Amino acid sequence: MKGKVTILTGGAQGIGRTIAEFLADRGSDMVIFDVLDGEATVAELREKGVRAAYFKVDVSSLAQVEQAVATVVKEMGGIDNLVNNAGITRDKLLLRMSEEEWDQVIRVNLKGVFTCTKTVIRHMLKKGGNIVNISSIIGLMGNAGQANYAASKAGIVGFTKSVAREYGERRIRVNAVAPGFIMTKMTDTLDEAWKEKMVKAVPLGRVGEPIDVARVVYFLLSDYSAYVTGETINVSGGLYT
Ligand code: NAP
């Protein structure tokens, strides 16, 4: 990771922030794209001795992504890795789900992966690169109340396989990670009884921590996975296999 430049979306908090810390600890320069203020995260990353920058970017806007990526290339000298982690939920049963709730989730979770990958991959064509997309086991198994979220996360799996096929010969690897139940702000709001039920269903008998996801993202960005592309790795304690 030393001397590499990694763009990470949604890195101001949660799983993304832990991924940022994990990669910075291993020497990667870090660029955070987030709608949430990421200055505190970036200050902490700099203390680890790497270059770090935060851009207020809504990943669902191709124009905002293009502008930020152009600045990154100019100021950091190139891009080696992209981690598409930004994501939202707007849970409702289908009959109660508004058009806006459907659109918001698809725009951020799925279109956001398209905008960032399309823009960044152009700068990886000459010397190769690595892309990791954060999906979810919900995209693979479905979940009542999350049709919009499940569709967006399943879409990421198909997108990952397709782009891996398109750019493999350019030495660009594209993989996905599908986390299960991970403790973050996103899952904090869930009903306690439901959380307990989930933990009982996890073969490894515990909820996941952001670090469990960060380690697998690191594996996929590193040469340890040099012959792996187009894959989705579940990080769910066996909840979904
Ligand atoms: P989180 O704590 O809510 O962090 C997501 C970050 O993305 C937040 O800082 C959020 O800002 C930002 N974001 C939202 N919309 C954005 C946009 N349009 N452009 C740029 N940034 C945006 O979520 P998390 O739990 O760490 O989840 C990270 C990823 O893992 C997501 O893709 C999620 O779907 C996936 N995942 C999570 C779990 C889990 O159990 N936590 C399980 C499976 C998959 P705001 O807070 O201002 O919205």
CATH of residue 41's domain is 3.40.50.720
Average pLDDT estimate for 167-192: 92
Which residue's CA is minimally distant from atom 32 of ligand 1? 87
Looking at residue 121, its pLDDT comes to 98
Q: Taking the complete model, does pTM exceed 0.95, yes or no?
A: yes
Question: Model confidence at 190, in pLDDT bands (50, 70, 90)?
Answer: confident
Residues labelled as active-site residues? 149
Q: Are 239 and 184 in contact (CB under 8 A)?
A: no
Q: What is the average pLDDT value for the chain, to the nearest integer?
A: 97
Domain count, the chain: 1
Residue type, 61: S
How many CB atoms are located within 10 Å of the residue 116 CB? Answer: 28
- On whether the CB atoms of residues 208 and 182 are closer than 8 A, the answer is yes
For residue 52, the CA-to-ligand 1 centroid distance in Å is 20
Domain presence at residue 142: yes
**Inter-CA distances, 167 with 51, 69, 134, 161, Å:** 28, 19, 19, 10
Q: Tell me whether residue 48 is in a domain.
A: yes
Model confidence pLDDT, tens digit, residues 60-83: 999 999 999 999 999 999 999 999
- Rounded mean pLDDT, 167-196: 91
CB of 80 shorter than 6 A to ligand 1: no
Instruction: Give the residue, by CA position, lying nearest to ligand 1 atom 47.
Output: 36
Is 189 contained in some domain?
yes
State whether the beta carbon of 188 lies less than 6 angstroms from ligand 1.
Answer: no
- 133 belongs to a structural domain: yes
Per the domain annotation, does 105 fall within a domain?
A: yes
pLDDT tens digit sequence for 94-123: 999 999 999 999 999 999 999 999 999 999
Q: What is the pLDDT of residue 197?
A: 86
Examine residue 104 and state whether it is found in any structural domain, yes or no: yes
Looking at the domain assignment, is residue 241 inside a domain? no
Domain assignment present for residue 167? The answer is yes
Q: Which domain holds residue 165?
A: 5-235
